Structure 1
Amino acid sequence: MDFGLIRDSLPFLLQGAWVTVRITALSLVFGILLGTVVALARMSPIRWLSWLTLGYIELLRGTPLLVQIFLIFFGIPQLIQQQINEFVAGVIAFSINSSAYVAEILRSGIQSIPKGQREAALSLGFSPTQTLRYIVLPQAFTRVIPPLVNEGISLLKNSSLLSAIAVVELTRAGQLVAARTFKPFEMYLAVSVIYLVMTLILSWVARQLEARWQVR
């Protein structure tokens, strides 16, 4: 075991880890924003809109994420005749994919809010939009913190797929060092440990949020 190699390569691996964190954070934020819109459309009384968003969700959840990444990175440039930066392509692919899972998470959270609260808000003069904004969504988001954090952890680990389009995130950084030094065991062991540390930190944050807001 060459611990010296791991020590010397750590700064480069941590740079890759920082790229991984940025991609995960941006994708989760955009995924939550888009997923909220999709969840509300999925619950819409307008039948065609509900069916359209259901098809969107099933398509994204039923196809491999790697294929979606390739479609964004290689397919869209063919249509628009302009190359997309690999980092941007990764964030777009992850955000769209995440939105499908977030939509179902939020939909379950919204449906868990007692109907009586909506009726009480409407009887007090709140409009349906105000009821959703001030009464329903804040409670729903609080209740779905654990699955949202789990989605963040999934994004963090799945970010390794972006090495296929040459994004120098954590896994790709490990690949580059392993290819140069011919010592893959040490590199991938170090990469695994860094992933583990990041997921443990996310899990700790989730527990703190649950304790603070008494999520049940």
Structure 2
Amino acid sequence: MMSTELYDRPGPIARRRARLWTAAAAVVALAIAIWAVAKLASQHVLDGDNWIVLTQPDVLSALLAGLLATLKVAGVSVVLSLVLGLFIALGRMSKRRWLSVASRVWIEALRGLPELLLIFFIYLGFPAVTGASISTFWALVAGLVLYESASMAEAFRAGFLALPKGQSEAATALGVRYVKNLRYILLPQVIRQILPNLVSEMVRVTKASSLGFVIGYVELLLTGEQAIEYLGGQYAVPIFAGVAVLYIIICLILSRVSHILSKRLS
């Protein structure tokens, strides 16, 4: 029977060596964790009086408000970047050379720029050029959408290229117009294929929304920082730990939703 494996199975010596390296890394990680806990305990950071701040209603309501602001930015950014990314992907695959070249330039240029630079450019450059003010919310959303549209475009293009060409050709031969062919035949299949990629981008956008603190948008991270400034530096570790837990919970929920949708769509 022909083997389909693309690598050689490790032998006894390689497996023993891998177990030793794994055990050594685990010991080192455990030692670092114990040292960190002991250091924090010696500085009274782990005292219960400091961590009880997370049970105060004012702190909880502030963190939840910051979380809602983060989810609002992430949701709007993902939807807009999906729409814009789809149009850019279609332009990239267009037979019109000028449209394909323009879409490629858009993708390559924006993928090479830091998100923070785009956010600053929108927040500071847009009022300077147009004379109109822009809110911190839309400046943050615009910066994230510009960056994410390039990644979404490449994800959509990869999904379209993975489909058999015969489907589109058969639909055209049957007289199905391009828009209907795209909406009812191609796009549903593409979304199924790139769904894990889209969820990964959603998780990344949710974390990237924390960049809003540099322009004063009160999201989850800035809310935690403001709470520390108000309550005192001794509460920095508990509050930032609470912020980290909220980010982890959101990312786990998105990953779980992706798993459920993948099983249903398959």
1:89, CA displacement in angstroms? 1.1
1:148: Cα distance to partner? 0.5
Report how far residue 206 of structure 1 moved: 0.5
User: How big is the shift at 1:47?
Assistant: 1.4
User: Which residue of 2 is the match for residue 134 of structure 1?
Assistant: 184
Q: State the one-letter code of the partner of 2:217.
A: V
Equivalent position to 1:24, from 74, 77, 81: 74
Aligned partner (choices 222, 238, 244) of residue 186 of structure 1: 238
Q: Return the offset for 1:83.
A: 1.6
Letter in 2 for 1:145: L
Structure of greater relative contact order (alpha carbons < 8 Å, 6+ residues apart): 1
Q: Of 43, 52, 63, which residue of structure 1 is paired with 2:113?
A: 63
Q: 1:203 aligns with which of 239, 255, 266?
A: 255
How do 1:1-216 residues align onto structure 2 when only pairs under 5 Å count? Answer: 1=46, 2-8=50-56, 9-180=59-230, 181-182=232-233, 183-214=235-266
Query: What displacement does 1:10 show?
Result: 1.7
2:147 maps to amino acid: N
Letter aligned with residue 185 of structure 1: V
| Identical columns (%) | 37
1:131-185 Cα offsets, whole Å, 9 max, x none, are 2222111111121111001000000001111110111100000110112221211
Aligned partner of 2:72: which letter? R
Which has the higher mean CA deviation after the structures are superposed, 52-61 or 124-133? 124-133
| Distance apart, 1:209 and its partner CA | 0.7
Give the whole-Å Cα distance in 2 for the aligned partners of 1:84 and 1:128. 37
Query: Structure 1 regions of 5+ residues with no counterpart?
Result: none
Higher Rg: 2
Of 49-58 and 16-25, deviating more is 49-58
Give TM-score scaled by structure 2 length: 0.78
After superposition, what is the alpha-carbon deviation per residue over 1:78-111, rounded to whole angstroms, capped at 9, x for unaligned?
0111221101111111122111110000000111
1:20-41 deviation line (CA, Å, top 9, x unaligned): 0010000000000111100000
Structure 2 residue identity aligned to 1:69: I
**Higher mean Cα deviation, 124-133 or 93-102?**
124-133
4+ aligned runs moved over 3 Å, structure 1? none
- Tell me the distance in 2 between the aligned counterparts of 1:199 and 1:177: 23
Amino acid aligned to 1:7: T
Give 1:209's aligned amino acid.
Answer: L
Give the length in aligned residue pairs. Answer: 214
Taking the aligned partners of 2:153 and 2:145, their CA distance within structure 1 comes to 12
Please list every run of 5 or more consecutive structure 2 residues that lacks an aligned counterpart in the other structure. Answer: 1-45
Alpha-carbon RMSD across the aligned residues, in angstroms, is 1.0
